[in-house]
Amino acid sequence: MSQATRICLIFFLQPVALGAWLPHIPGVQTSLGLTNSELAIALVGAPLGTLTTLLIAGRLAHWIGARRITLIFYPVFLLVMLLPFLSTSQWFLMGVLACVGSSMSILELGLNVLADEYEKRTGGKIMSKAHGFWSFGLLTGTLIGSMVAGFGLEPIWAGLAIAVVVQVTVLPVTVGLPGEPDAASSSQGPHGFRLPHPLLIGICVFTFGTTLVEGAIADWAAVFLRDTFAANPGLAGLGISVFSLCLATTRLFGDRLRQVATPGRLGQGLAIIGLSGVAVIWFAPDTLVALFGLGILGVGAALAFPLGVTAAAAAPGRSSASNVAVLSFIALLGFLVGPLSIGALADTYGIRTGLMILAPMIGLSLILAPLLTVAHASQGTEAEGNTETSRNGREAA
């Protein structure tokens, strides 16, 4: 099995357990007797855990390496992912989701660094494809979760089966990856706190606008279809599946699209498609049209994060791992802002109106997309400068 195939398989398997949980959110809301606002507060646990952990995740990745992170945190994440099914209260749910977010943030940082290291080592394009497989993994999980919910089965046993199968599969795949150089001994710039480069901050804010979309659909699509169109649990869960399918399929073509269009133009075009999806959701008269709008939105949101990861790794900063950690921290603020904002609006004006917060967020990504091209240009300029310095040093010698 090639290294690229191993990395894509690791990306695919990671979100299956997460996807299996998402269709059960409306059921947990009902069983715990939570309003939309109370559910929103509970769902904030995941991004809070993620953001808190990302403050140290970059240093951890630089210290022990992406491959070791994957080996250590894969089983941790799979075990923690079982806890939301055992929730007995709003605060218990919030706490276990914080544990989910914490373990997932470190694991996904390791996966992204693995893909970036592969691109730099081989020159091949894999980032969008790898995220496409991640989305197909999420889709697989949501389909499993929808079937479990539709048939009224006990979700904890399905989650346990997923954890066992995924871990048994992923362990030999990860072990087969090449070991990284000693990250702790490499010099990647000065130690201590340093403000991120303004270009990196702009890239992070671009990604923030679209990660909010992914988080909002993951948390609220099933609730939206249930409350607006009285969809049953199985059908409501399909909203996440349709979104994930369109997002995953688009990501499979992302690396090819990166070869025919600049990152900035590509980001802008997809943002416009995303805005079209929001409009369809707003005017949808029935479940079928709403599912179509979710699919369009999935296409529009597909490449923002992989484009952002590649641009962040190319931007000025201490190291690629540190830059990607900063990107993940700021971008994933969308998962914190989204549930709170949408939940509050949904209780006052309805869930359909609550979802309209996605429009200005995608508009923000549309405006900032050109910074992706600037980051790649700055990397090329820096590389040329390093080459010229090296040449001058050899001539002087």
pLDDT digits (tens, 9 = 90+) for 124-141: 888 888 888 988 898 899
Q: What is the mean pLDDT of residues 2-13?
A: 92
pLDDT at 132: 84
When mean pLDDT is compared over 89-98, 253-262, 326-335, the highest value belongs to 89-98
CA-based nearest residue to 69, from 80, 81, 57, 82: 57
Between 392 and 218, the higher pLDDT residue = 218
- CA 50 to chain CA centroid, Å, is 11
Contact status, residue 228 vs residue 352, Cβ threshold 8 Å: yes
Between 258 and 333, the higher pLDDT residue = 258
Euclidean distance between CA atoms 263 and 374, whole angstroms: 9
pLDDT at 238: 83
**CATH of residue 98:** 1.20.1250.20
Contact status, residue 225 vs residue 239, Cβ threshold 8 Å: yes
Q: Is residue 45 pLDDT above 60, yes or no?
A: yes
Residue 218, φ and ψ in degrees, nearest 5: -60, -40
188 in a domain, yes or no?
no
Between 346 and 12, the higher pLDDT residue = 12
pLDDT at 181: 52
Between 181 and 101, the higher pLDDT residue = 101
CA-based nearest residue to 383, from 163, 172, 130, 123: 123
Q: Is residue 370 pLDDT above 80, yes or no?
A: yes
248 in a domain, yes or no?
yes
> pLDDT of 150-164, one tens digit each?
788 888 999 999 999
Helices 36-43 & 25-32 angle (0-180, nearest 10): 120
pLDDT at 180: 58
Q: CA distances (Å), 121 to each of 31, 34, 178, in order?
A: 50, 49, 11
When mean pLDDT is compared over 40-49, 262-271, 371-380, the highest value belongs to 262-271
When mean pLDDT is compared over 35-44, 221-230, 318-327, the highest value belongs to 221-230
393 in a domain, yes or no?
no
The residue range of the domain holding 355 is 7-177+196-384
Euclidean distance between CA atoms 375 and 40, whole angstroms: 35
> Whole-model pTM?
0.71
pLDDT grade for 99, boundaries at 50, 70 and 90: very high
Q: Count structural domains, the chain.
A: 1
How many Cα atoms within 13 Å fall on the side-chain side of residue 102?
14
Cα Rg of the chain (Å, integer): 21
Least confident range of 21-25, 214-218, 320-324, 370-374: 320-324
273 in a domain, yes or no?
yes
Tokens for 136?
Answer: 């197909």
Q: Is residue 393 pLDDT above 80, yes or no?
A: no
CA-based nearest residue to 21, from 80, 79, 73, 84: 84
183 in a domain, yes or no?
no
12 in a domain, yes or no?
yes
Q: Is residue 118 pLDDT above 80, yes or no?
A: yes
In this structure, which amino acid lies at residue 197? H
Euclidean distance between CA atoms 246 and 363, whole angstroms: 20
pLDDT at 76: 95
